[in-house]
Amino acid sequence: MPRQFAPTRQAPTLSRFASSPPEYSYARVSSAADRVTRGGVLFLILVTGACGRGKVGEGASDGALADTLKAAIQQAYDFSRPGVLERMAALYPDSGRVISASGGQVLDSPDSIRAGLAEFWETAGQHMREARWEWDRVYVDRLSPDAAVLTATWSIPHLAPTGRPHLIRGAWTAVFRRIEGHWKIIVEHLSEPR
């Protein structure tokens, strides 16, 4: 969930990002945005670790769809271009119910998710230098012609504000629905290593 951070030596932690080292002189302060960033940005419900093969609508693996969803996320988290916050927010629908679970919290609106993303960007994201998104294992299954689930592990190597190398990583399950021709996350669950 989104978190506010106050100066200290404790590092920021976000739903999409595992805990950071003392180089990020921020400490967690509970807030409404906390629900998105810490246990639950990036979204969503740990629906499945599924990667079964079957007919469309029955968990069928789909390589082209996997490439499409992976590219959308990787482009949203492209820290080398301006507009990162807007691209991250564009992964979600503008209205309707959107569920994001993380860190024992659940968010259920696009506005609360956007607030968490903004909090992440202000307190940590904009301070990461040379950040790049990297996929580890990725499983994508088409649930129907307009629904899919992605379960993956990922990392973002970067330089902390002190210039020291740092790595954040986690696991993410996201349920996508095609809305007006665009794949949007409607349910997600994020977790980070302990």
3-state helix/strand/coil string of 71-89? HHHHHHCCCCCCCHHHHHH
**Tens digits of per-residue pLDDT, 8-19?**
333 333 444 444
Torsion of CA 125, 170, 190, 115, to 10 degrees: 0
> Could you tell me the residue range of the domain that residue 24 belongs to?
4-191
Contacting residues for 40 by C-beta, under 8 A, at least 6 apart: 1, 15, 100, 101, 102, 103, 105, 106, 107, 116, 188, 189, 190
- Is pLDDT of 174 > 50? yes
Residue 60's pLDDT band, with cuts at 50, 70 and 90, is low
Residue 36, number of CB atoms within 10 A of its CB = 33
Residue 104: the pLDDT is: 84
- pTM exceeds cut of 0.75: no
The residue with greater pLDDT, 110 or 40, is 110
Please report, to the nearest 10 degrees, the dihedral formed by the alpha carbons of residues 81, 82, 86, 87 taken in order: -10
The per-residue pLDDT for 103 is 82
How many independent structural domains does the chain possess? 1
Q: Which CATH number belongs to the domain containing residue 138 in this structure?
A: 3.10.450.50
Q: pLDDT tens digits, residue range 67-116?
A: 999 999 999 999 999 999 999 999 999 999 999 998 888 989 999 999 98
At 48 the pLDDT is 32
Instruction: Give the mean pLDDT of 153-159.
Output: 95
Cα separation, 15 vs 63, whole angstroms: 27
Mean pLDDT along residues 141-165: 95
Residue 40 has pLDDT above 50, yes or no: no
Question: 75-89 burial, b for 16+ CB within 10 Å, e for fewer?
Answer: ebbebeeeebbebbb
